[in-house]
Chains A and B, each alone.
Chain A
């Protein structure tokens, strides 16, 4: 069995290496005709770009993506620089008309994005021409290897039950060198995905056929991300099914997150796109879906006929009514650990790292400041955006709409949720984003804390303060601090994953939805002691 596991690991690593290696393959260049048609298609008015690009990328030389990207980005920079010089010139000459004219020739967009669009057309090579084979060698081997690594656990882990043996003895799960390697890989992955998508253009070639089948168009880097996300969640979901096979709550919950990710976050939006509708993830609630009220999204929805209006209304109803009502009845777990995509990844890929969340009081303080600050940030951003959208102004109270949207997208959307949120899994645990950053979690948390039927019930005086619950709480809640006082756990950050209850060796914790009265039950003397003493101390 162990041999199968190691073979699986080897196959997985081969798949991962090939996947990573594809980045460095392929040739990128245009023929003059291709360049002409590309520029015509894009409708660039810039008169220099054609010359710059043909110097840069119309070549017999075989350029890899890095050389290509550099040349292409230079070309765009030079082309824009030409007009910047003119702008400066007319500015000194105080020729305002001429100066104003120049802006239309500038090409907007981030250099890597422009380069990505070019590369998508300019690429050729083995990966592009053998997408099916490459899919097998990357995704295929990755999946097969991972499953061979995971499935022997059915036997190796022994009888069903909590099997956390060795978690703190192994490098991968105890912040050892493997954990750090994984961190570096994940962080690099997210940096490429968010900021240097052109480098990953070969990955999109691998998935072009699947993308075409689903939505009719070629794969973008976001399609790659979505597909990879689903694949990883499914594979690591299998791991969850095996590890927690004695625990039906975990099984049902894992099925639920997989379903919502694959069907709601991935398939439905893709199919909608293929039907010429706006691709929309019906479960992605504002303010986690922070660009829902951005002007371009509202415009897009308004122009998409009935379905667009429906989405607009659904989005508002989801955030204002469905979300809080569900939290009242079931706690925020209905969203965070049953439905949400970020939560879904955290509960599958992130499960081996859940013990790394910081349980100190200081971390709790930081959490409350940070997550509520992000909530305020997202609301201010949305207010400014909506005000500007309806009034036509560019700013509100001196805050520029474009600036605040860009800042939020960059800091929160890309860095916090992606690079830090997922990249740091192996060191800081799997819920960094959900605990410290997610504005929707902050909103759900406020409802859960003050108006909900959900609590984790502590079972009388049975706690032995062992600390398994606190150790394995992914949200950094010191569960034991409550349990050993016989007190129910009612915390805004609890996502109801149910692991504290699962790992408890004395059956002390139970997630449940019950009457609000008696939900918060501060106690000093625990059940089992003298009844009069309990009354005396607890009712004082």
Chain B
């Protein structure tokens, strides 16, 4: 029986394993160093915050793996011998495979800052990071202040985590405004304000110069590059992005770039070796996507796709319309299609924007200024229906159509205040149109694209 070995028990690897099992009775082994069982990485923050226990982050009960005949091996892969199709573990055991799937995810970036490996410096990615945080920042007596370096999604989550235990936080952000490489200014500025509402000491346009140690080799303070200011702290969170976790593949003969190079079938240069998820790097970007997509959903989608190939139905990775979501402290964010920041958007793309006068709610719709084709939407504080936007993108609807039927897309809980009228009124005023907002219709919602 063919033996499929998957390195990495994150969402990509586990999705592949599940789908292979649905379609075949191949022998499946999942190898992981980090934990025995699959857990949701995105939920680690809630464990520290006390919303959940670690066991709640595990989507499947522990008996699930045995029942589905998926073998789990907790070990660290030291080397991949592709010639003999063998994995060498750090404890000198080895494992034969027929097909190998690399799904080892990412590791936090470190940019060679002095002191970046001191005690008390941590990322927020692995379960071990969570354990370190519990050790170094259990409360605000042990940790008088934490400094977070890097203004992305993990950075703001780490800030939220620390604030949940009343630990003072200084947040160093390289950009002039939070995440404004991705978000339009309207939204980025709203998040800046919200960060400050949460009593987080937000330092925009500030970089880390070095981390200083006390006499025990533990973090004592950091120095800011621009001002030379020294900020005393007990914990430094490095959240300046992630990069593929592939150093164990150096001498394997598998072609590497920043990640494991794969084609559209998620195949590497070596036969029977595949890579998916955060650690996979497409030779050529798919559409407007990046070559490396370190996102939960894309990892899952690659897993769904690769399982088809493994089970004999060779399938190209063809992701549909882009979507993503996040939560910035109390503000939920969803995006469908493409909305680039002012820096990133193309010449033909323009925004329609609406912002609530008081609440933290706003939207940005990106559309083509010539054809009025709808390109994408960012929504903050308003939930939207994925199916509807996916359909509109497929149908290449106009921005006018999207606004007219916006009520169909609203996904907020019942009784929530809706804003379609105000949004449409603003568009009409700015564009001299006369769009009438249509009432929500189940018939339209369920009609297929």
B412 to chain A, nearest CB (A): 8
Residues from chain B with a CB closer than 8 A to the CB of A160 are 330
The reply on B33 being an interface residue by CB < 8 A is no
Contact residues, B304-354 vs A (CB, 8 A): 304-305, 308, 313, 315-321, 323, 325-327, 329-330, 332, 334
Q: Is there contact, CB below 8 Å, between B61 and A467?
A: no
Count of A residues near B, CB < 8 Å? 61
Task: Out of A166, A460, A530, name the residue touching B315 (CB < 8 Å).
Answer: A530
Of A161, A247, A481, A525, most buried by chain B (CB within 10 Å of CB) is A525
Q: B125-133, B224-232, B241-249, B384-392: which one contacts chain A? A: B384-392
Task: Out of A164, A166, A249, A361, name the residue touching B416 (CB < 8 Å).
Answer: A249
Q: Is there contact, CB below 8 Å, between B318 and A533?
A: yes
Contact residues, A404-463 vs B (CB, 8 A): 457, 459-462
Residues from chain A with a CB closer than 8 A to the CB of B197 are 159
B409 to chain A, nearest CB (A): 11
Q: Is there contact, CB below 8 Å, between B43 and A465?
A: yes
Residues from chain B with a CB closer than 8 A to the CB of A468 are 43, 46, 51-52
Q: Is there contact, CB below 8 Å, between A533 and B304?
A: yes
Residues from chain B with a CB closer than 8 A to the CB of A161 are 329-330
The reply on B65 being an interface residue by CB < 8 A is no
Task: Out of A158, A459, A505, A527, name the residue touching B411 (CB < 8 Å).
Answer: A459
The reply on B89 being an interface residue by CB < 8 A is no
Q: Is there contact, CB below 8 Å, between B383 and A507?
A: yes
The reply on B415 being an interface residue by CB < 8 A is yes
The reply on B258 being an interface residue by CB < 8 A is no
A536 to B313, CA, bound (A): 11
B79 to chain A, nearest CB (A): 31
Q: Is there contact, CB below 8 Å, between B61 and A360?
A: yes
Q: B140-148, B209-217, B293-301, B423-431: which one contacts chain A? A: B293-301
A511 to B50, CA, bound (A): 26
A164 to B50, CA, bound (A): 7
Q: Decide: A530 near B319, CB < 8 A? Known: A158-B198, A164-B50, A460-B386.
A: yes
Residues from chain B with a CB closer than 8 A to the CB of A464 are 40, 42-43, 296-297, 325
Residues from chain B with a CB closer than 8 A to the CB of A457 are 411
**For residue A503, which residue of chain B has the nearest CB?**
B51
**For residue B164, which residue of chain A has the nearest CB?**
A165
Q: Decide: A501 near B308, CB < 8 A? Known: A467-B59, A528-B320, A529-B319.
A: no
Residues from chain B with a CB closer than 8 A to the CB of A249 are 413-416
Task: Out of B164, B332, B390, name the residue touching A505 (CB < 8 Å).
Answer: B332
A514 to B19, CA, bound (A): 31
Q: A293-322, CB under 8 A of B: which get 1 and which 0? A: 000000000000000000000000000000
The reply on B11 being an interface residue by CB < 8 A is yes
Q: Is there contact, CB below 8 Å, between B297 and A528?
A: yes
Q: Decide: A480 near B59, CB < 8 A? Known: A526-B300, A526-B304.
A: yes
Q: Is there contact, CB below 8 Å, between B50 and A169?
A: yes
A506 to B414, CA, bound (A): 17
The reply on B417 being an interface residue by CB < 8 A is yes
Task: Out of B56, B315, B321, name the residue touching A470 (CB < 8 Å).
Answer: B56
Residues from chain A with a CB closer than 8 A to the CB of B321 are 528
The reply on A47 being an interface residue by CB < 8 A is no
**For residue B302, which residue of chain A has the nearest CB?**
A529
A497 to chain B, nearest CB (A): 11
A220 to B399, CA, bound (A): 67
The reply on A168 being an interface residue by CB < 8 A is yes
A446 to B250, CA, bound (A): 58
Q: Is there contact, CB below 8 Å, between A507 and B332?
A: yes
A455 to B46, CA, bound (A): 27
Q: Is there contact, CB below 8 Å, between B198 and A159?
A: yes
The reply on B270 being an interface residue by CB < 8 A is no
B229 to chain A, nearest CB (A): 28
The reply on B113 being an interface residue by CB < 8 A is no
A187 to chain B, nearest CB (A): 25
23 contacts between A and B (CB under 8 A): A162-B330, A164-B49, A165-B164, A168-B51, A252-B415, A459-B383, A462-B334, A464-B325, A465-B40, A465-B42, A466-B40, A506-B326, A507-B332, A514-B442, A514-B445, A515-B446, A524-B19, A527-B387, A528-B297, A528-B301, A529-B301, A530-B316, A532-B318
Closest 9 CB pairs of A and B: A460-B386, A161-B330, A507-B383, A466-B43, A530-B318, A169-B50, A248-B415, A166-B50, A465-B40
Other than the given A514-B446, A537-B304, 4 more pairs (CB < 8 A) read: A460-B387, A461-B300, A524-B19, A526-B297
**Chain A interface residues toward B at CB < 8 A:** 158-162, 164-170, 246-249, 251-252, 360-361, 457, 459-462, 464-468, 470-471, 480-481, 484, 498, 501-503, 505-507, 510-512, 514-515, 517-518, 524-533, 536-537
